[in-house]
């Protein structure tokens, strides 16, 4: 029962006990998931809205848990950060995405790029740049084909350090993108000082494109701001043809979403690409 005046009282219900056990189970397995080869990447194409061509793919992490089945990234990535395995997992993601992309380039799927999500803790670790350099070298991938996606909150956690690291990445030739743009709190002045190559309009704005009268204006404003800042603009979460058409009319360059293609495992991706379904 709740103690008077206490503000740290926790109620244990069977439900919570279940949750704690589940967390424990996930945490335990997460430490060995990489060695056991339970992690894999899916790839979701980014298309150029003008030409309809695939210009690259976003790598999205998946975990095939032995008992729980497929665990969503939002369920285990925060935990991986917390227990300190994100550096190792994140390095593996960058490495695998570079190797896969080089392989697809060699197979003639086009001069595809790859976008990789980077978590805050991974971005801040001292060895991060070296991880990127090693991955590119190991895959013999030209740096211009790699884009790293960072959220606004990751960039703003230690803005001076972030800017330095982003500039180092760009010196290597790697591109930097702001993910989930619009959901954070970057002011326009911040944005001007951030060395970025592209921004991704968060899918919440895309889903409000037609339903909310402000939704349209916000997306249009972000696109014209991107143009002003000379950065590429990607719309994520495009689920309908109408959204794709509206975005193209607004001169949004790139789009990604279920309407275009859902994230695919490598083998399915290759099948689609060789049948010409991805371009
Ligand atoms: P995100 O980077 O914003 O990725 C976009 C998410 O939207 C993905 O979810 C994708 O499957 C989903 N999506 C794609 N098209 C559509 C659409 O048309 N409609 C809707 N409603 N959703 C769409 P997913 O794969 O579950 O990933 C969730 C988040 O997990 C990602 O959000 C990213 O923040 C994180 N994540 C995924 N892979 C990695 C990784 O390798 N490293 C790190 N640090 N984070 C990752
Ligand atoms: Ca992303
Ligand atoms: Ca996003
Ligand atoms: Ca997101």
51-64 residue pLDDT tens: 999 999 999 999 99
Residues with Cβ within 8 Å of residue 3, at least 6 apart in sequence: 9
Averaged pLDDT of the chain: 91
Higher pLDDT, 140 or 66: 140
Point out the ligand nearest to the CA of residue 240: 1
Q: What is the pLDDT of residues 69-80, one digit of tens each?
A: 899 999 899 999
| Inter-axis angle of helices 73-82 and 86-106, nearest 10 | 130
Bridge-based pairing state of the strands 264-265 and 198-201: unpaired
CB of 264 within 6 A of ligand 1: the answer is no
Neighbour-count burial of 94, counting CB atoms closer than 10 A to its CB (0-12 exposed, 13-18 middle, 19+ buried): buried
| Inter-axis angle of helices 73-82 and 14-33, nearest 10 | 80
CB of 40 within 6 A of ligand 1: the answer is no
Nearest to 253 by CA among 234, 279, 236: 234
Which residues of the chain form beta strands (DSSP E)?
39-48, 54-65, 69-71, 113-117, 146-151, 175-181, 198-201, 232-235, 254-255, 264-265
Ligand 4 midpoint to CA 167 (Å) = 23
Evaluate if residue 36 carries a pLDDT over 60.
yes
CB of 182 within 6 A of ligand 1: the answer is no
CB of 257 within 6 A of ligand 1: the answer is yes
Place of tokens 């349209």: 216
Residue 128 near residue 157, CB atoms below 8 Å: no
Evaluate if residue 195 carries a pLDDT over 50.
yes
Ligand 1 pocket, mutate which of 117, 234, 243 (most atoms under 8 A from CB): 117
Structure tokens of 80?
């991986």
Evaluate if residue 16 carries a pLDDT over 80.
no
- Using a CB cutoff of 5 Å, list residues around ligand 3, an ion: 179-180, 236
Give the pLDDT confidence score for residue 1 in this predicted structure. Answer: 40
Ligand 1 midpoint to CA 30 (Å) = 19
How large is the average pLDDT for residues 3-29?
Answer: 68
Residue 176 near residue 200, CB atoms below 8 Å: no
What count of residues does the chain have? 279
Give the pLDDT confidence score for residue 103 in this predicted structure. Answer: 97
Among 14-28, 54-68, 107-121, the minimum mean pLDDT is found in 14-28
Ligand 2 midpoint to CA 189 (Å) = 23
How large is the average pLDDT for residues 246-263?
Answer: 97
The percent of residues in the chain predicted with pLDDT above 90, rounded, is 76
Give the pLDDT confidence score for residue 166 in this predicted structure. Answer: 98
CB of 74 within 6 A of ligand 1: the answer is yes
Radius of gyration of the chain (CA): 20
| Inter-axis angle of helices 159-172 and 128-139, nearest 10 | 20
Q: What is the pLDDT of residues 90-117, one digit of tens each?
A: 999 999 999 999 999 999 998 999 999 9
């Amino acid at each position: 029962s709740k103690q008077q005046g206490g503000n740290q009282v926790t109620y244990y219900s069977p439900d919570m006990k279940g949750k704690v056990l589940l967390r424990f189970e996930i945490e335990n397995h997460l430490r060995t998931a990489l060695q056991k080869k339970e992690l894999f990447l899916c790839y979701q194409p980014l298309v150029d809205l003008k030409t309809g061509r695939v210009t690259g793919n976003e790598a999205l992490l998946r975990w095939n848990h032995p008992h729980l089945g497929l665990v969503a990234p939002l369920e285990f990535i925060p935990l991986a950060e917390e227990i300190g395995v994100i550096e190792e997992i994140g390095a593996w993601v960058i490495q695998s995405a570079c190797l896969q992309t080089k392989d697809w380039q060699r197979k003639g799927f086009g001069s595809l790029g790859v976008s990789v999500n980077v978590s805050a803790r991974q971005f801040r670790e001292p060895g991060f740049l070296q991880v990127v350099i090693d991955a590119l070298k190991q895959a013999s991938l030209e740096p211009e084909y790699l884009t790293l996606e960072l959220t606004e909150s990751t960039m703003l956690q230690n803005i001076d350090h972030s800017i330095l690291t982003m500039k180092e990445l760009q010196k290597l030739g790697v591109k930097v993108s702001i993910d989930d743009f619009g959901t954070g709190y970057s002011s326009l002045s911040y944005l001007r000082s951030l060395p970025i190559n592209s921004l991704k309009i968060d899918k919440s704005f895309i889903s409000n494109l037609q339903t909310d009268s402000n939704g349209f204006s916000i997306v249009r404003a972000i696109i014209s701001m991107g143009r002003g800042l000379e950065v590429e603009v990607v719309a994520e979460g495009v689920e309908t043809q109408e959204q794709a058409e509206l975005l193209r009319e607004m001169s949004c360059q790139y789009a990604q979403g279920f309407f275009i293609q859902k994230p695919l495992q490598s083998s399915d991706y290759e099948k689609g690409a060789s049948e010409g379904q991805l371009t």
